[in-house]
Amino acid sequence: MGEYEIRDPIYGFITFDEWEREIISHPWFQRLRRIRQLGLTDMVYPGAMHTRFEHSLGVMHLVTKMFDSIMKNEENRKLLEDYFQYSGEDLNRYRKIVRLAGLLHDVGHAPYSHVSEQIMPKNTNTKKPFKHEDYTKAIIEGPMKRVIEANNHTKHFDISTKDITNIISGNPETPVGLLFWRVIISSQLDADRCDYLLRDSHHTGVKYGIYDLERLLNTLKLGVNPESNELVLGIKKGGWHVAESLIIARYQMFTQMYFHKTRRAYDYMIQQALKESIGLLPPPSLIEDFLELDDYSVWHCMRIKGSEWFTNLISRKHIRLLYETKEMPIESEEKMICRLKECLNHDNIWVWEDSQGIRKNWYSGGDDKEVHIIDKFNNSMPLSYYSTIVKNMYTPFMKIRLYVKYKDVKNAIKIKEGLT
């Protein structure tokens, strides 16, 4: 099987085989070259022009490194054999499925990544909005099925598209020995976040997201949760500082970049411009229509529509931050928010309160304190019991912000000053 390599700014080189090369070359995977990783973050950090394409390659690479690192440790292997009765054949197959799941996990992203999740339609069965994972499943099992399954190597590993989507979505019919590996695809310690922290830092030029990846890989360890008796993925006791630095990196990236006040303003504006130009996205059942949409095509739609939101967006007349609370608002700040909103409404000044969406935002998901530290007896203990810094980090983040339109800034500031 031929081996190919591609230069990557984070890992040096990423290698892949002929089969993976065909998948990567498929037009619907290539579409990820036209989906920016961080939406319009380049309006604040001009270097943030990287795409889901390179992130996906990075996750495939990193998830493989994590898999191999876990398996090279004898104690980890014993635990896995004890829990899931692994055979060598299973492992080769699982490794390949995990690798493909890492490669394809974001193939269903909509234009401008998470920004457009707000315009995903509702699933009539669940009555909940679709998620990008639903689109990912529809693409892998639909238009990409042929390139994944019609390959000799597929027959060799006996891997179907269902194997890949089952581990991405957590289907209960997945063999538990395979389902276990979901922890390195989507959890507090997964390849996704380990990649995006380093990649986003690199491209934006900020240094907050950097941590010692090699040390992290070398200290991955399995243990047993005493409450549930289930296997948990954690970090060896001796390496808990690297877990701490990962958590701090994530916190700083969140507060300094992902939740940057101007970045949030652009998120909101492009959401409004998208709503006005394309309305709701097609559901996963119309996947071919969905796949026609990428950053380029919806930009064109927004330009043709020429809404006020889009016009202001391209002339950098973005909505401006008028007032914000602390990360955990105090009572007087909450009162100020209410009074300000009342006064602005009274004067017919448009205002956007950025608070309700926080819970559902991808970057606030998870509880980092839950990363486990594993001792030599395979006992697990939360990181917050080792690290005073992590213990005292105040999560979740509940900052509330009020924004006004560019044209109203002066009047809004006067109103605010009248209240303080």
Partner 1 sequence: MNWLLEEAEIISLFVRKISEKNPEHQIGKTIIQKMMYLFEIEYNNKYEDQKQYDFDYTLYHYGPYSFEINQALNMAKNMKFVSITWNPEKGYFIKPRTINIENQINENMDQIEEIVEDLVNGYGSYYARELSIIATAIYVKQHNTDIHDDDLVEIVAALKPKYNVQSIRRILIDANIINH
Binding site for partner 1 (CB under 8 A): 83-85, 127-128, 169-173, 175-176, 179-180, 182-183, 186-188, 225-232, 328, 355-356, 358-359, 364-367, 369-370, 379, 381-382, 385, 394-396, 398
Comparing CB distances to partner 1, the nearer of 22 and 324 is 324
- Token pair, residue 364, equals 């606030």
What distance separates the 2 farthest-apart alpha carbons in the chain? 73
- Token pair, residue 136, equals 């990912």
- Closest approach, Cβ 137 to partner 1, in A, equals 12
Comparing CB distances to partner 1, the nearer of 171 and 345 is 171
DSSP reduced 3-state for 282: coil
- Closest approach, Cβ 398 to partner 1, in A, equals 6
Q: How far from chain centre, in Å, is Cα 175?
A: 25
**Residue keyed to tokens 């909101």:** 268
Residue of 385, 414, 386, 416 whose CA lies nearest to 401: 416
Residue of 396, 413, 405, 256 whose CA lies nearest to 329: 396
- Closest approach, Cβ 394 to partner 1, in A, equals 7
Comparing CB distances to partner 1, the nearer of 226 and 279 is 226
Comparing CB distances to partner 1, the nearer of 225 and 285 is 225
Q: Is the peptide bond before 143 cis (omega within 30 degrees of 0)?
A: no
What number of CA atoms fall less than 13 Å from residue 42's CA on the CB side?
13
Comparing CB distances to partner 1, the nearer of 299 and 386 is 386
- Closest approach, Cβ 27 to partner 1, in A, equals 29
**Residue keyed to tokens 């101007």:** 262
- Token pair, residue 157, equals 């590993």
- Type of residue found at 100: L
Q: Indicate the DSSP class of residue 40.
A: T
Phi, psi dihedrals of residue 405, rounded to the nearest 5°: -70, 155
- Closest approach, Cβ 347 to partner 1, in A, equals 26
Comparing CB distances to partner 1, the nearer of 202 and 369 is 369
Beta bridge partners of 402: 323, 353
Give CA–CA dist 294/50, Å, rounded.
14
Give CA–CA dist 305/270, Å, rounded.
13
- Closest approach, Cβ 12 to partner 1, in A, equals 32
**Alpha helix locations (H) across 142-190?**
145-149, 152-157, 161-169, 176-179
- Type of residue found at 313: L
- Closest approach, Cβ 119 to partner 1, in A, equals 17
**Residue keyed to tokens 């085989």:** 17
Side by side, the strands of the sheet bearing 320-324 are 320-324, 401-404, 351-354
Q: How far from chain centre, in Å, is Cα 293?
A: 20
DSSP 91-108: HHHHHHHHHHHHHHTTTT
